[in-house]
Amino acid sequence: MVLVEAIILSVLAASTPLLLAATGELVTERAGVLNLGVEGMMIVGAACGFGAAWLSGSIIVGALCGIIAGMLLSLIFAFMTLGLAVNQVATGLALTILGIGLSGLIGARFVGERITTAPHLYIPGLSDIPLVGRILFGEDAFVYLSLALIVAVWWFLYRTRAGLVLRACGDNHVSAHALGYPVLRIRMLAVLFGGGCAGLAGAYLPLAYTPFFIPGMTAGRGWIALALVVFASWRPGRLVIGAYLFGAVTILQLHAQGAGVGIPSQFMSALPYLATVIVLVLLSRARTGGSTAPAALGTVFVPDR
Partner 1 sequence: MLDPGPAAPRTTQPLLQTVGLTKRYGDFLANDKIDIEIFPREIHALLGENGAGKSTLVKTIYGLVQPSAGELRWQGAPVKLSGPSEARSLGIGMVFQHFSLFDNLTVAENVALGLDGKEPFKAMSARLAKVAQDYGLPLDPNREVWQLSVGERQRIEIVRALMQNPKFLILDEPTAVLTPQEADQLFVVLERLKAEGRAILYISHKLDEVKRLCDTATILRGGKKISTCNPKLETAASLARMMVGTEIKEVKPPAERRTTVPRLVVNDLTVAPAELHGVRLQNVSFELKGGEILGIAGVAGNGQDELFAALSGERLVKEPGTIIIDGLACGNLSITQRRKMGAAFVPEERLGHGTAPRMRLSENALLTGHAASDMVRHGFINAAATLRTVDRTTETFDVRKAKRDPEAASLSGGNLQKFVVGREILRTPAVLVVNQPTWGVDAGAAAIIRQALIDLASAGAAVLVTSQDLDELIEIADRIAVMFHGHLSEALPRAEATREKLGLLMGGASLDQKEAAHAAGA
Q: Which stretch binds partner 1 (CB under 8 A): 32-40, 45-53, 71-79, 166-174?
A: 166-174
291 binds partner 1 (CB under 8 A): yes
Cβ-based neighbours of 186, under 8 Å, separated by 6 or more:
31, 165, 166, 169, 176
CA distance 12 to 17: 10
Using left for φ > 0, alpha for ψ between -120 and 50, and beta otherwise, residue 237 falls in: alpha
CB of 172 to partner 1, least distance (A): 5
Which of these segments, 20-28, 89-97, 104-112, 168-176, binds partner 1 (CB under 8 A)? 168-176
Residue from 124, 180, 258, 260 touching partner 1 (CB under 8 A): that is 180
Interface residue with partner 1, options 175, 274, 282, 302 (CB under 8 A) = 175
Q: For residues 182 and 211, which CB has a smaller minimum distance to partner 1 in the complex? A: 182
CB nearer to partner 1: give 11 or 157.
157
Q: Which of the ranges 19-27, 53-61, 199-207, 288-296 carries the binding residues for partner 1, by CB under 8 A?
A: 288-296
CA distance readout (Å), 67 to 29, 46, 156, 263, 276? 19, 9, 20, 38, 27
Estimate to the nearest angstrom the gap between the alpha carbon of 246 and the chain centroid.
12
Exposure class string for 24-55: b at 16+ Cβ within 10 A, else e? bbbbbbbbbbbbbbbbbbbbbbbbbbbbbbbe
CA–CA separation, 243 and 94 (whole Å): 25
The binder of partner 1 chosen from 168, 197, 200, 201 (CB under 8 A):
168
Q: Does 262 bind partner 1 (CB under 8 A)?
A: no
Distance of CA 176 to the CA centre of its chain: 27
- Is 85 near partner 1 (CB under 8 A)? no
User: Helix, strand, coil: what percent of the chain each, to 5?
Assistant: 75, 0, 25
Burial of residue 150 (number of CB atoms within 10 Å: 0-12, 13-18, 19+): buried
Supply the minimum distance, in Å, between the C-beta of residue 232 and partner 1. Answer: 16
CB 192 within 8 A of CB 21: no
172/299 with CB nearer partner 1: 172
Say whether residue 273 binds partner 1 (CB under 8 A).
no
Under the binding rule (CB under 8 A), the answer on residue 94 touching partner 1 is no
> Does residue 176 belong to the site contacting partner 1 (CB under 8 A)?
yes
Choice between 200 and 296, CB closer to partner 1: 296
By CB under 8 A, is residue 156 in contact with partner 1? no
Q: How far apart are CA 277 and CA 273, in angstroms?
A: 6
Among 85, 281, 295, 302, binds partner 1 (CB under 8 A): 295
State the number of binding residues for partner 1 (CB under 8 A).
22
Q: Does 178 bind partner 1 (CB under 8 A)?
A: yes
Q: Rounded to the nearest whole angstrom, what is the least distance from the CB of residue 293 to partner 1 in the complex?
A: 9
**For residue 8, which of 105, 178, 131 has the smallest C-alpha distance?**
131
User: Which CB, 161 or 260, lies closer to partner 1?
Assistant: 161
108 touches partner 1 by CB under 8 A? no
Closest CA to 164 of 38, 31, 268, 271: 31
Question: What's the CA gap between 247 and 235, in Å, rounded?
Answer: 18
Residues in touch with partner 1 (CB under 8 A): 161, 164-165, 167-168, 171-172, 174-181, 287, 290-291, 294-295, 304-305
